[in-house]
Structure 1
Amino acid sequence: MAESFPEVQGGGSLILAWQVKNKKVLVVGGGEVAAGRILNLLNADASVTVISPTSGLNPEVAHRVQNNQVTHLDKKFEPSDLDDPDITMVLTAIDDPEASSQIWKLCKEKRLPANIADVPPECDFYFGSVHRDGPLQIMVSTNGNGPKMANIVRRRIASNLPPNMGDAIKKVGKLRKKLREVAPQPEEGPKRMQWMSKVCVQWSLEDLCDMSEEDMEMLLQSYAPDQVPSLVDVRGPWEFDGSFGWACVV
């Protein structure tokens, strides 16, 4: 019998969560588009350097500069600006197609990943439309075909999410950390993952949001026998006997 595998759908891009914390990123330009790029980078804890004459800074970028959220070089871009070995990526957002293409070529020579605003063929990566709720990030990409459509789709998805999804994810993150303290051994990895999966499936979003530190401690007692009691059972007048389940305390 022939096995069934997913169909290959070419023409897409590899969507990744790029970790740029404390990494140096160069932004050329200081207008509205640059402001959005800069905010995305700061949200990811990147170390941002902006190259733009002060006269070209829009109010938001000027605010970032004044509050020392970014490093500002008050000048126009020069090829030597790419000589810094600490630069990990380059973003351009300037109204000069010829200069942008030149920066792209220089980045290719130095093997620096770059994004040239509004020029998809000259981009190693794209910026999608992102929904953010605490630790939750959802990105919608049209692979450069329609940024406005990405925004519309992202809003549609966000409107169907519970408003407290981010809080639930934070609670799950705390529970995972506590579970690693309870069962730190590497060989426990598969069981930890399966047990956490069962918690996320069997508990409602409201339960996860309402889960307290005390609830976590009680719930973790059910890890060893590989059980997942409900939040009602965790909070009820029950006592875990360590063998086959929960017993009522009388």
Structure 2
Amino acid sequence: MAEHSFPEVQGGGSLILAWQVRNKRILVVGGGEVAAGRILNVLNADAKVTVVSPRAGLNPEVAHRIERGQVTYHDRKFEPSDLDDADMVLTAVDDPEASSQIWRLCKERRIPANIADVPPECDFYFGSVHRDGPLQIMVSTNGNGPKLANIVRRQIAANLPENIGDAIKKVGMLRRKLRKVAPAIEEGPKRMQWMSKVCESWSLEDLVEMDEQDMERLLGFYKPGIVPSFEEIRLGDESGVWRFDGSFGWSVVC
């Protein structure tokens, strides 16, 4: 039997996922600075957020979210009944005993929870996130060093092209158009392969500059599985129309 080389298992990590919480009901217990960050994270993910915290302890940002009606607010301490409709719970309060009580109640009800600054009482962690439009990059230290995660995240972000978020938006638009051109399930592998060729062949600058006309011209080359350069697509607009002639090149119709 031929020998194979496979990656070594490295235990002690977390399964990093993009958790879809759109329209999910998320309970945030606490109204301080940490809670403000948690609230923004889940609002960015289009969740329905309920905040439970005495008004006297509200962070200015949390108060702003409440005043704008971005969250549902209860001016009081946590009550067990707050968990009745919760799909997820995030706590950020300066009371270890109260936090542990909430954690135990969540475990009983099988509600995923994050207890701020208490890694053993967390079903998941919040990492340090860089956001540029649809692009999200998370750095996690698995609860070992949140500040260090922030430093690493900033170094990564500093080395990313400024226009990468716009490029990703255009790629997403092209993918949606391609699905309309080739909607069949069996076309899936070919669609993925062709989109990979586009992303590898075109520069980020090309993808940012690409408009809907360029997309329509480019999609005309999907069936033969060809990816012309951005210059060839644009040249077709100025001096003729590039058409695939069934051979190994293109013909120009002026």
* 201 and 180 in structure 1: CA distance in 2 versus 1, 3 angstrom threshold: same
Aligned to 2:252: 248
Q: TM-score, normalised by structure 1?
A: 0.97
Match status 1:219 vs 2:223: no
Q: Which residue of 2 aligns with 1:65?
A: 66
- Number of aligned residues: 248
Aligned partners of 2:245 and 2:251 also within 8 Å? no
What whole-Å deviation, never above 9, does each CA across 1:182-207 have from its counterpart, x for those lacking one?
11111111100000000000111110
Query: What per-residue deviation string (whole Å, max 9, x for no partner) do you get for residues 150-184 of structure 1?
Result: 00000000000001100000000000011011111
The residue that corresponds to 2:35 in the other structure is 34
Letter in structure 2 aligned against 1:73: H
Structural mapping, 1:1-250, within 5 Å = 1-82=2-83, 84=84, 86-236=85-235, 237=239, 238-244=241-247, 245-250=249-254
Q: Aligned-pair distance for 1:101?
A: 0.7
Residue type of the partner of 1:177?
A: R
Residue identity matched to 2:154: R
The one-character-per-residue Cα deviations of 1:124-159 (angstroms, maximum 9, x if unpaired) are 000000000000000000000000010000000000
Aligned counterparts of 1:104 and 1:186: Cα–Cα separation in 2: 43
CA contact (8 A) 1:199 1:228 kept: yes
Q: Distance in 2 between matches of 1:56 and 1:90?
A: 19
Unmatched runs of 5 consecutive residues or more in structure 1: none
The one-letter amino acid paired with 2:63 is A
Q: Write out per-residue CA displacement over residues 191-240 of structure 1, whole angstroms, 9 at most, x where no aligned residue.
A: 00000000000111110011010000000011011000000000113421
SS in structure 2 of the partner of residue 77 of structure 1: coil
Secondary structure in 1 aligned to 2:87? strand
Distance, in Å, in 1 between the alignment partners of 2:245 and 2:33 is: 60
SS at match of 1:13: coil
Matched residue of 1:87: which SS? coil
Indicate if the aligned counterparts of 2:232 and 2:242 stay in contact, CA closer than 8 A: no
TM-score of the pair, normalised by structure 2: 0.96
Task: Report the alpha carbon displacement of residue 77 of structure 1 after superposing the two structures with TM.
Answer: 0.5
- One-letter amino acid matched to 1:240: R
Distance 2:230 2:156 in 1: 28
What letter corresponds to residue 157 of structure 1 in structure 2? I
The amino acid of 1:37's aligned partner reads R
**Is this contact kept in 2: 1:225–1:242, CA < 8 A?**
no
Q: CA RMSD in A?
A: 0.9
Q: Which AA in structure 2 matches 1:6?
A: P
- Aligned-residue sequence identity (percent) comes to 75
Aligned residue identity for 2:19:
W
Shift of 1:76: 0.4
Q: CA deviation at 1:243?
A: 2.0
Segments of structure 2 that go 5 or more residues without pairing to the other structure are none
Q: CA deviation at 1:56?
A: 1.2
